[in-house]
Chains A and B, each alone.
Chain A
Amino acid sequence: MLSYVGRRVLQSVPLLIGVSIIGFALMHLAPGGPLAVYTLNPTITNQDIERIRIVLGLDQPVHIQYFKWASGMATGNWGYTFFGGRPVLGVILERMPATFLLMGSALSLAILIGCTIGVLGAVRRYSVFDMMATSGAMVALSFPTFWFGLMAIYLFAIKLGWLPSGGMYELGEEDNLLDLVRHLILPCLVLALVITAVWSRYTRSAFLEVMHQDYMRTAKAKGLRAPARLLRHALPNALKPLIALLGIELPALFSGALVTETIFGWPGMGRLFVDALNMKEYPVLMGMIMFTALFVIVGNLVADILIALLDPRVRLS
């Protein structure tokens, strides 16, 4: 098991290098640059811009810039922001709790509701409930997240006035937990909606697959009642593909969080990324890309380890 984890960690190194090269290349291929904002500023001369370019190292060839950045990363130095000169890792970590709060709450909610809908749909296949859940999931998957976000703001914040339209706190209420929850509800529901739809579909098919296996017939022939059959025999077997799905769905969760945070002005990593993209903050963008890649790799590793713990055929072979 330990050697398996070690091998997976080593395998992820070339993956991370590849991600960084592609990310760096795409960033520099995009038109404009961090200095473009100064060209319209009448108080900054061309000589000033050239000086800033040299100070920031942007005058050097792209591959030299990459190697300087990469060698810094290898020693744990994530670089400094162009505007303000703050350490990139610090900037990212500062935004992490807000994003993890949003993603964590939305994911937990989505898994809880999605799995329940999926199991009920599988047990009562083709019932009215199952049909409604299926069409509901299709609707949720067919509309873009930002549309749901805008509609939620329009309905609950503007028309009904029940909940705030954005942000994380009212001014001066930073320690008020209730205020935080009020701000969390809308973005959390909007982010959870699409994930719930995905999970209800996957849970339904995972359970349907399992419930027609021979060992489920054996469980019934043993005289076990439905709850025991579902919990002890169907659930662990159905959980396996769902855990793998959790690892695969992490990038989608990140991009969903990015859109949701932008719409609701949630001060998380998604907002940071969008802001950095507009400002062409290369160090922050690269830092975000590497952070996300690392998170997804670790998430998949954890998923694989969980599967090995669940399935003796994986664990003992």
Chain B
Amino acid sequence: MDAAPAVLEARNLRVGFRIPGGTMRAVDGVSFALRQGETLGLVGESGSGKTMTSLALLRLLESPPAELAAEAILFEGRDLLRLSEGAMADLRGARLSMIFQEPMTSLNPLMAIGRQIDEPLVTHLGLSARAARARTLDLLARVGIARPEQAVRAYPHQLSGGMRQRVMIAIALACRPAVLIADEPTTALDVTVQAQILALLRTLQEEMGTAILLITHDLAVIAETAHRVAVMYAGRIVETGPVAALFARPLHPYTEGLLRSIPRISRVREATLPEIPGVVPAPGQLPAGCAFAARCGFADDACHATRPVLTPSGEGREVACWKPRHG
């Protein structure tokens, strides 16, 4: 797995919003590499900048008000920031796809779902209407929708949330993209449906060799699905590494806190669930030092004074902390 080359690489990605009196940084220098065929989990609390990162990668943020900057966003050897809007449109949905958190509202309510899946096939692969429809029927069967011939004529309001997310996956994977960005794909779904959707993503990934950037706040989803994980805090990545090692021995106090706050049946005797005190600092109000220092039990003057950068710590892991745990 480590030998696989990176298919999508973000270098020092920044997203800001212009507000009266300055710029609000939502993503503050995020760098990561997604390798061929792997699943990289991007995890963090609400407001940590995960969704902004994902939308920025596809250049889906509306600008203005959003301002996107990076050293580079390399996809299959090309810098996405240097592409024209037309060239970017040719990549979206073809080589680089995305599914969203809200399957209930992400489909056009006035269009039968068959036509919505046909669209990328006709647009990107130049298929005839008939050939596209044949592929659409096959795709619907592959994402686990029974009786595709009837399903193509159904409208979104006639489908359940899980079914709609399956349709979204069919649309996103229609052209066999190299990368799928999945932004909280299971958050709006029932727990049993969540597991089905994650299993489906795994199966299709194995079939098509698609690399997945899985964005979630749910560590259980990461544990179940991802190969590697990057933990985001206040617009920055604070720790990254292989899932098993990171879950077993978290290095950053924030990661440790996140893992400790997962409810476990084996811990029933504990009276209260451990939580991380305080809240994520608002963008624009970040301290000079480590953004987590104010909530960290181990912070000292150095932590408050200087911002730590992501530093390799062996076994393919990196951490941005002056006082890493298990160091």
Interface residues of A (CB under 8 A from B): 213-215, 217-225, 228, 232-233, 236-237, 310-313, 316
Q: Does B43 contact A (CB under 8 A)?
A: no
State the Cβ distance, A207 to closest chain B Cβ, in Å.
15
Return the CB mask of B171-190 against A: 1 if under 8 Å, else 0: 11000000000000000000
B90, A223: Cβ atoms closer than 8 Å: yes
- Which of B90, B97, B106, B172 is in CB contact (< 8 Å) with A217? B106
Q: Does B46 contact A (CB under 8 A)?
A: no
Once A221-B60, A224-B89, A237-B108 are accepted as A-B contacts, the answer to whether A214 and B102 lie under 8 Å apart by CB is: yes
Known: A219-B108, A236-B111. 4 other contacts (CB 8 A): A222-B123, A224-B89, A232-B119, A311-B110
B123→A228 contact, CB < 8 A: yes
Complex Cα distance, B108 from A215, in Å, reads: 5
Report, nearest first, the 9 A-B pairs whose CB atoms are least far apart: A223-B93, A222-B93, A223-B92, A214-B105, A312-B155, A215-B108, A221-B98, A214-B106, A222-B120
> Would you give 18 A-B contacts (Cβ < 8 Å), ordered by A?
A214-B105, A214-B106, A215-B105, A217-B60, A220-B60, A221-B92, A222-B92, A222-B119, A222-B171, A223-B89, A223-B91, A223-B124, A232-B111, A232-B119, A310-B110, A312-B112, A312-B155, A312-B157
Docked-complex contact A224 and B119, CB < 8 angstroms = yes
In the assembled complex, B109 has its CB within 8 A of some CB on chain A = yes
Instruction: Please determine whether A221 and B105 come into contact, CB atoms closer than 8 angstroms.
Output: no
Among A223, A225, A228, A233, point to the contact of B108 (Cβ < 8 A): A233
**Pick the contact of A223 from B123, B155, B157, B168 — CB < 8 Å?**
B123
**Contacting residues, chain A, for B254 (C-beta < 8 A):** none
Residue pair A215, B106 in contact (C-beta under 8 Å): yes
Please name the residue on chain B nearest to A233 by beta carbon.
B108
Q: Is the CB of B58 within 8 A of A221?
A: yes
| B158 CB–A CB distance under 8 Å | yes
Which of the residues B86, B102, B110, B168 comes within 8 Å of A312, measured between beta carbons?
A: B110
Cβ of B106 and Cβ of A311 under 8 Å apart?
A: no
Answer yes or no: B100 CB below 8 A from chain A CBs. yes
Distance between Cα atoms of A88 and B125 in the complex (Å): 64
Q: Would you call B94 an interface residue if the criterion is a C-beta within 8 Å of the partner chain's C-beta atoms? A: yes
Q: Which residue of B lies closest to A239 (CB)?
A: B110
Q: Is B107 an interface residue (CB 8 A)?
A: yes
Q: Which among B98, B105, B123, B172 is the interface contact of A224 at CB below 8 angstroms?
A: B123
Cβ-defined contact, B97 with A221, below 8 A: yes
| In the complex, residue of chain B having the shortest beta-carbon distance to the beta carbon of A225 | B89
A286 to B277, CA, bound (A): 76
Give the residues in chain B near A228, CB-CB below 8 Å. 123
A218 proximity list for chain B (CB < 8 A) = 100, 106-108, 168, 171
CB distance from A226 to the nearest CB of B (A): 8
